[in-house]
Amino acid sequence: MKRLSLSLVLLALAATTARSDVELRETECWVRANMVQNVDCYHVIVPLDRANPSAGSAQLAVAVLRSSSRNPEPDPVIYMEGGPGAPTFASDYPDYEDYSDFWWEHTSSFRRSRDFILFDQRGIGLSRPSLDCPELHDLDRSLPEILHYDHPLIERETNELAACYDRLRAEGVPLEQFDTRNSADDVADIVRALGYEQVNLYGVSYGTRLGLEVMRRHPDLVRSAVLDGVYPPTIDAELDFPRAVAGAFANLFEDCANDAGCRRVAPDAEATFEHLIADLNADPRELELYDLDYFNRGTYVRFNGNAVTSSMVEYLYDSYWLTYIPLMIGTAADGDLDALSYFYWPASWGSDGMDEGVFVNVECREAPTLDTSAMMAEAARYGIYGEAVLEWSLVPYCDVWPVQSNPLDAGGPVVSDAPTLLMSGRYDPVTPASYADEAAETLSDSKHLVFRSGGHGVTFWFDCAAKLAAKFFDAPNPAAVPFPRCRDYTDAADFALRF
């Protein structure tokens, strides 16, 4: 009864504090809970275009995981997912996976003192309208199991992406209203509709960019912030990516050289890797897929060096799998070149569970630079690492998704005095520690922690990082934050020495 009463009180407060064009509807919950867990689910209805509220609305899926305390603090945590385009509550195509158990476990330390708000950003997951692109899913289902490096996948993907764009436009979806600025205003509307006066922001990856925009646009709403894998608005995702990737590999190779075990399995890993990749780019060949847990012996794929490097970039995100990269290199250098295929996974972009339309719409709308010549010139500065990430360029996708440009960096860096804890992983190839340092220059009350064993999103990988974030929200004083006492923070990766 106490939980029901609290919910009714919040709804009553919301009626008097939310914007008049925002509506809160309590609904049957899609987050599974057991007998000792309490959750309330809502649809928060907001204008698609706040300058023209009559132009339609967005329905945002929101869940409040209630605190385990009998007397929770009045300011909840709100989580902002990455991507852009990643759903919060469940994955979708190709395999549905409910995230309820994950969220109850991950938020347990946060919920000891306060409520925890989850939501699907506009266009994503359970929120409507959806910018998902089933056209890409249909393409993925039509692909062969094994994709060689020279398969014309990008041409097929861009054709289906163009079809998705045309369909959404024909349906009257105002794509210019799906961006970081509008999502930041959505966060403010959600918090106020639920009856809270202040909130603690918790963002990971793109969610940090969204969190920073909330700090810019709604400073009075923000009590404190934890930003993990920081992606500030001043970063150019197109031009800064080659430097980030090259830096992540350099950090990994440096730490391998300083580790006796890693040095034994991969002597001079950096030079060896660069030689192997250059050789494969000059002379692509078929390699037998090395991971027999997933592939039958005798399964071959045609590789070039860029395909190998790109697969390793994806695993630099992962604090567990990145530890195998030097072992792969050393094994290949000893004559077993097939080891370079260990991370191969045949998939199209449409198979990753993201709502692809949101990703392309936000990144193409907000990109400062979409220039192939500029990207090629920047990539050339970083050798094999730059050459590999040319295949990740936004330009082909933005060419078939002509949303009106409105670069986010036009507002400059976010200036805020809200207490902020920044976290990074030393091997992160997409939001390196230098990005957090750049953001911190205008965050006057902040502290930055770099986890030496970390890839991307350290609060999801390391318990000590998540618990530190929860403690920070209890007492948001960056100057008093202790350095974490866990090997994930203090020590380099625990490199794998055998497959």
pLDDT single digits (tens) 289-338: 998 777 788 899 999 999 999 999 999 999 999 999 999 999 999 999 99
How buried is residue 302: exposed, middle or buried, by Cβ count under 10 Å (0-12/13-18/19+)?
middle
Structural domain includes residue 154: no
Which among 247, 153, 184 is positioned nearest to 437, based on CA atoms? Answer: 247
Structural domain includes residue 188: yes
343: Cβ–Cβ under 8 A, 6 or more apart, which residues?
A: 291, 311, 312, 314, 315, 321, 324, 328
C-alpha angle 227-230-234 in degrees, rounded to nearest 5: 125
The string over 342-356, giving b where at least 16 C-beta atoms fall within 10 Å of a residue's C-beta and e elsewhere, is bbbebebbbbbbbbb
pLDDT value of position 17:
54
Structural domain includes residue 151: no
pLDDT value of position 13:
45
CATH number at residue 455: 3.40.50.1820
For the chain, which residues score pLDDT lower than 70?
1-18
Would you tell me how many other CB atoms lie within 10 Å of the CB of residue 311?
18
Sole residue written with tokens 């608005």: 233
pLDDT value of position 438:
98
Which among 403, 453, 412, 391 is positioned nearest to 175, based on CA atoms? Answer: 403
Sole residue written with tokens 């158990």: 101
Structural domain includes residue 227: yes
Structural domain includes residue 390: no
Structural domain includes residue 328: no
pLDDT value of position 18:
64
State the total domains in the chain: 1
Q: What is the pTM of this model?
A: 0.95
Query: pLDDT (tens digit, 9 = 90+) per residue, 36-83?
Result: 999 999 999 999 999 999 889 999 999 999 999 999 999 999 999 999
- How many percent of the chain have pLDDT more than 70? 96
What 3 state SS string does the chain have?
CHHHHHHHHHHHHHHHHCCCCCEEEEECCCCCCCCCCCEEEEEEEEECCCCCHHHCEEEEEEEEECCCCCCCCCCCEEEECCCCCCCCCEECCCCCEECHHHHHHHCCCCCCCCCEEEECCCCCCCCECCCCCHHHHHHHHHCCCCCCCCCCHHHHHHHHHHHHHHHHHHCCCCHHHCCHHHHHHHHHHHHHHCCCCCEEEEEECHHHHHHHHHHHHCHHHEEEEEEECCCCCCCCCCCCHHHHHHHHHHHHHHHHHCCHHHHHHCCCHHHHHHHHHHHHHHCCEEEECCCCCCCCCCCEEEECHHHHHHHHHHHHCCCCHHHHHHHHHHHHHCCCHHHHHCCCCCCCHHHCCCCHHHHHHHHHHHCCCCCHHHHHHHHHCCHHHHHHHHHHCCHHHHHCCCCCCCCHHHHCCCCECCCEEEEEECCCCCCCHHHHHHHHCCECCEEEEEECCCCCCHHHHCHHHHHHHHHHHHCCCHHHCCCCCCHHHHCCCCCCCCC
Structural domain includes residue 499: no
Sheet of 420-425: strand order equals: 23-27, 39-47, 57-65, 116-119, 77-80, 199-204, 222-228, 420-425, 446-451
- Could you tell me the residue range of the domain that residue 84 belongs to? 2-130+175-236+411-490
Contact 331, 308 (CB under 8 A): no
| Cα dihedral: 462, 465, 471, 477 (round 10) | 180
Structural domain includes residue 461: yes
pLDDT value of position 14:
44
